[in-house]
Amino acid sequence: MNPVVSFKNVKKSYGDDPVLKGISFDVCKGNVVALIGQSGSGKSTALRCINGLEPINEGELHVCGRMLHDKACDIPALRKEVGIVFQSYNLFPHLSVEQNITIAPRKVKKIKAKEARELALHVLNQVGLADKASAYPDQLSGGQQQRVAIARSLAMQPQLMLFDEVTSALDPQITGEVLKVIENLAKGGMTMVLVTHEMAFAQAVADQILYVRDGVIWEAGSGDLLKNPQTAELRQFVGNGL
């Protein structure tokens, strides 16, 4: 079976500044891969490349059967299959929770209104917010808004979900709510790539952890990688975080 995501010696620069210096890894269907590392190491850039938000300069990148290194790649079609959730919730403040969730399925997938409402209630139930369909974003906590953002991506019924430090702006109690949702998605078999600073969470849910440093994959392994780092750099990074 072909991997859902496959990086092959991918390089990415901004002008003369190399950010990814030749990274290679695969994400198999149903697996969770966590990218960890210091800010500026390249992990969020790698995530954004998967969704076509950043074009790569060299190498090969296959995502959901599409070749992103091919300039003819249909990026809008790719984004129907790849959901992404950022630190900021990016909800429309003037729309209800249900409307925030149904707008993309209706406009992009041409789903009828009744089916879109049923879909919204289904994904809201997945994130534990079935009672908030008629609420507006400013009536919700930060954690609830982030869970709505996750539900909005799930409503597109993607093959792959990407999470870019989705808990970094949340306090510890609310962080737990959001991480529980992601953990449940993992248990349900959703293929995911996540950038996170939550080391204990990465160790618990990830099938593979990639420590990114200076634009390369410095170390890779299962959750046990964080218990037994092989390099001084990863030992220092993990520190007392577990």
Predicted confidence (pLDDT) per residue in 181-207, tens digit = 999 999 999 999 999 999 999 999 999
The count of C-alpha atoms lying within 13 angstroms of the C-alpha of 162, restricted to the half-sphere facing its C-beta, is 24
Q: What was the pLDDT predicted at 11?
A: 97
> What's the pLDDT tens digit per position in 200-214?
999 999 999 999 999
Q: For residue 33, with 0-12 CB atoms within 10 Å meaning exposed, 13-18 middle and 19 or more buried, which class applies? A: buried
Q: For residue 228, give every residue at least 6 positions away whose Cβ sits within 8 Å of its Cβ, in sequence order, or none.
A: none
Q: Max alpha carbon distance in the chain (Å)?
A: 56
Extents of the domains making up the chain: 92-157
> What's the pLDDT tens digit per position in 90-147?
899 999 999 999 999 999 889 999 999 999 999 999 999 999 999 999 999 999 999 9
- The token pair that represents 131 in the structure block: 């009672």
Element (H, E) at 32: strand 32-36
